[in-house]
Chains A and B, each alone.
Chain A
Amino acid sequence: MKPYVSFNSVSHFYETDEGQQVEALRNVDFHIEKHQFVAVVGPSGCGKSTLLKLLTGLLRPAGGQVKIFGTPVTEPRDEIGIVFQQPTLLPWLNVLENVMFPIKHKRGRISSKEKEQALSLIKMVGLDDFSQRMPSELSGGMQQRVGIARALLLDPEILIMDEPFSALDALTREEMGFDLLRIWNQSPKTVLFITHSITEAVLLADKVLIMSPRPGRLSEEIFIDLPRPRSAETVKEKAFAEYSDRIRQQIYHPREFTVVSNESKVKQEVSNL
């Protein structure tokens, strides 16, 4: 079976305002299977956002290939839904209109069947009583739920989530994690989930990709073999702590790449001279 998403030795550069070329990604290689939940963890500046933009088709890789269903991504595709770090709802539209926005924006109108679908998505994210409310009346967590419903409306095969809970307080964040598990169980999707939180990654993902910065590289792939459905109980398991430790260790004391990072340090010092 072909993988749903594949990155084949993908590299990317971007240009700073001063015209300097910066290497954002180097030789990134991974696959995502159907309905697999993949989390990407890594410090800031490790190219997570670049990875995401390459998958959405808003950027084209400088080297290598990004494929969805075996065909290279050359432009944004319908199979993808995006949840952003900030909910970024449209403040002049109510919850229902915000959820329906992608279809309206794309086609100019919306069928009554799609409206029903939007309402059931709002119900699924637990906001049935709020469909007529304005975003400014909602809490941050509720706004992000609307963001999730909006991303699910076009029924995308692939859901990209860019640190979706990082703007929320710790309690809401935990709750949203469990809710996301429930939603994912109800309508399984292929997910690429970017996060700074190790426990969040272990709780949610089938596979965790660990990235290291400057230039962004994949330093390890860890399969999380915890039984599903997962819940608050999962967090208490011994294996959960072990996985978290392993990831933490790989982030703070990467084994294989110490040589490379020394090399780049030397390079930097030389260029500083």
Chain B
Amino acid sequence: MRGQNNSFKQRLQSYLPAISLLLIIPIWQLVCSLFEFPPYILPSPTMIFDAFVQVESARWVMHLWATLRVALFGFILSLCISIPLAMMMVSSKYLSKTLYPLLVVIQSTPVVAIAPLLITMFGSGEGPRLAITCLITFFPLVVSATTGMLSTPPELIDLSRSLRAARYKEIFYIRLPYALPHIFSGMKVAITLAIIGAVVAEFVAAEQGLGYFIQFSTSFFKVPQAFAALIFLAVVSLILFKTVYWVQKYFFAWTLNKEKS
């Protein structure tokens, strides 16, 4: 009896997040019908759903792809810059002392404030949007990669040096893999920031994308449609986050093990 009880509790626990999310919808609907908010203040879930269905799917796909493209390429570009940068900073004290303050300055400057400047400087093409996404994502990546590489046990570095292995081998085959659990944590933060970066860039200047579509909808008081886009955006962001987790789970399962040593 007791065992059954336990397994029921366990199952309930795994369903709780989904249940809590689904519970919001009827409550929201109820609140809207009770207080009769005008749709531009708070549209009800049914209105949002109607608005979602009314927009042609081709249009959704177009806007989604525009945002996703910038977010994903910006993220990948950011990875390609930040990991080598972290490797350089770990291998040279001078370089890390020179670069670190610069990184902190970049991070302390609100990217949202730089966005309009970048767009006036470089135009409203995809380049500046990629740059904004890159700027917003690369700090967590650099920091996680650097701390990960520096947390390598000193014994392993001693082992590598006692074998008289080249320095690049120490970085590539010991420090970099050792940093992977940290890098994955950084990537989980960065992937959601990438969506934010792409949307911020679209707010400033764009002709398509989900961020642009939200702005476009609100300027015509089509608030339910804006909400639909917003929810769509949140779901996309969640899927991207989960994708990072799946990649980690299937290709780097060891990074999820709690280390014994």
Contacts and interface: CB of A to CB of B under 8 A. Distances in A.
A91 B257 contact: yes
A91 B163 contact: no
B164 A105 contact: no
Contacts, number: 68
Contacts of A82: 158-159, 162
A88 B155 contact: yes
A247 B255 CA distance: 45
Interface residues of B, number: 25
Contacts of A106: 163-165
Contact of A105 (B165, B252, B255, B261): B165
A102 B159 contact: yes
B248 interface: no
Contacts of B174: 90, 105
Interface size range on A against B: 20 to 34
A75 B163 CA distance: 10
B158 A143 contact: no
B162 A76 contact: yes
A64 interface: no
Contacts of B252: 92
A88 B157 CA distance: 10
Residues of A contacting B: mostly: loop
A91 B259 contact: yes
B227 to A, nearest CB: 44
A58 B161 contact: yes
B64 to A, nearest CB: 36
B155 A86 contact: yes
A47 interface: no
Contacts of B261: 86-89, 135, 140, 143, 167
B254 interface: yes
A65 B257 CA distance: 45
A212 interface: no
A135 B156 CA distance: 15
Interface string B234-261: 0000000000000000001011011111
B159 to A, nearest CB: 7
A221 to B, nearest CB: 27
Contacts of B164: 75-76, 106
A76 B155 contact: no
A92 B162 contact: no
Interface of A: 53, 56-58, 75-76, 80, 82, 84-92, 102, 105-106, 134-136, 138, 140, 143, 167
